[in-house]
């Protein structure tokens, strides 16, 4: 494993050609999100870009959360779920609220996102069911994750900063080594040619399948793709 992750903390000055443009800058605020009526009561999400680019929800997160709530809700009861690059926790928190999952769900991201994840866990009264954790792509997996052996891994909009692509692939690989049956639900928005290079490399390492979704026609027009990654036999 590589020891340091070069992904930048958010700073308007740090946006270079490696970095995809963030969604429109919004002031810090808390909103209710019901994922197109899939979640009642809705998720309360505090967004604040001060913590980093993940401080605001990104388009792939909405697509992935809706996929999980619409199609997987009844199959996740015994799942061991971990979210990578969770930002404020949109997807993992949506799943925790909408699906009867027994084991705690790990929301993971870099150190700078920890306080926002914690704030959103508290805001939704999920302290006993959702655990925020630092997991830097490319680093050794935290011991909590090794013990958890996640078998459902969620990753939304984690393809946006080219120097981090190999680190993300290393972490995805390390996670699939913990459980040969684990499934990664991976949603990303294609912004530059390099993003397809990421997918090309992912196909070399994993079994990659595009998955069905009733919104696919709409989100594919926006350059969004939804896949599962599984360990190669």
Ligand X SMILES: C[S@@+](CC[C@H](N)C(=O)[O-])C[C@H]1O[C@@H](n2cnc3c(N)ncnc32)[C@H](O)[C@@H]1O
Closer residue to ligand X, CB minimum distance, 21 or 181: 21
Q: Any binding-site annotation on 109?
A: yes
**Distance in angstroms (rounded) separating the CA atoms of residues 76 and 63:** 18
**Distance in angstroms (rounded) separating the CA atoms of residues 39 and 61:** 15
Q: Any binding-site annotation on 85?
A: yes
N-term to C-term CA, the chain: 23
Residues that bind ligand X (CB under 6 A): 5, 7, 52-54, 57-58, 60-61, 85-87, 90, 109-110, 113, 136-137, 156-158, 160, 164, 167
User: Nearest distance from residue 37's CB to ligand X, in Å?
Assistant: 20
Closer residue to ligand X, CB minimum distance, 53 or 178: 53
- Alpha carbon 93 to chain centroid, angstroms: 11
Q: Any binding-site annotation on 86?
A: yes
**Distance in angstroms (rounded) separating the CA atoms of residues 82 and 200:** 24
User: Nearest distance from residue 69's CB to ligand X, in Å?
Assistant: 15
Q: Any binding-site annotation on 215?
A: no
User: Nearest distance from residue 233's CB to ligand X, in Å?
Assistant: 28
Q: Any binding-site annotation on 61?
A: no
Residues paired with 187 in a beta bridge: 156, 226
Closer residue to ligand X, CB minimum distance, 60 or 202: 60
Torsion of CA 212, 157, 107, 116, to 10 degrees: -140
| Alpha helices, DSSP H, located in the chain | 59-67, 90-98, 114-123, 143-148, 165-178, 193-205, 216-221
User: Which residue number has the CB closest to ligand X?
Assistant: 54
Q: Any binding-site annotation on 155?
A: no
User: Nearest distance from residue 7's CB to ligand X, in Å?
Assistant: 3
CB 82 within 8 A of CB 154: yes
Structure tokens at 148: 């958890």
Closer residue to ligand X, CB minimum distance, 19 or 206: 19
Closer residue to ligand X, CB minimum distance, 111 or 214: 111
Alpha carbon distances (Å) from 197 to 27, 169, 187, 191: 34, 12, 15, 12
Which residues contribute to the annotated binding site for S-adenosyl-L-methionine?
Answer: 58, 85-87, 109, 137, 156
Which residues contribute to the annotated binding site?
Answer: 58, 85-87, 109, 137, 156
């Amino acid at each position: 494993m590589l020891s340091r992750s070069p992904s930048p903390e958010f700073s308007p000055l740090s946006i270079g050609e490696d970095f995809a443009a963030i969604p429109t800058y919004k002031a810090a605020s808390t909103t209710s999100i019901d994922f197109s009526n899939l979640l009642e009561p809705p998720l309360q999400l505090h967004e604040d870009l001060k913590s980093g680019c993940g401080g605001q929800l990104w388009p792939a997160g909405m697509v992935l959360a809706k996929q999980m709530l619409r199609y997987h809700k009844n199959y996740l009861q015994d799942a061991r779920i971990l979210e990578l690059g969770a930002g404020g926790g949109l997807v993992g928190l949506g799943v925790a609220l909408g699906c009867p999952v027994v084991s705690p769900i790990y929301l993971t991201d870099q150190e700078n996102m920890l306080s926002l994840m914690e704030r959103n866990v508290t805001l939704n009264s999920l302290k006993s069911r959702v655990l925020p954790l630092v997991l830097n792509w490319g680093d050794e997996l935290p011991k909590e994750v090794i013990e958890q052996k996640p078998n459902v891994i969620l990753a939304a909009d984690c393809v946006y900063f080219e120097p981090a692509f190999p680190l993300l692939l290393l972490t995805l690989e390390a996670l699939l080594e913990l459980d040969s049956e684990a499934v990664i639900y991976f949603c990303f928005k294609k912004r530059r040619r390099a993003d397809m290079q990421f997918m090309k490399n992912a196909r070399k390492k994993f079994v990659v399948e595009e998955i069905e979704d009733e919104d696919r026609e709409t989100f594919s027009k926006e350059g969004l793709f939804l896949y599962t990654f599984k360990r190669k036999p």
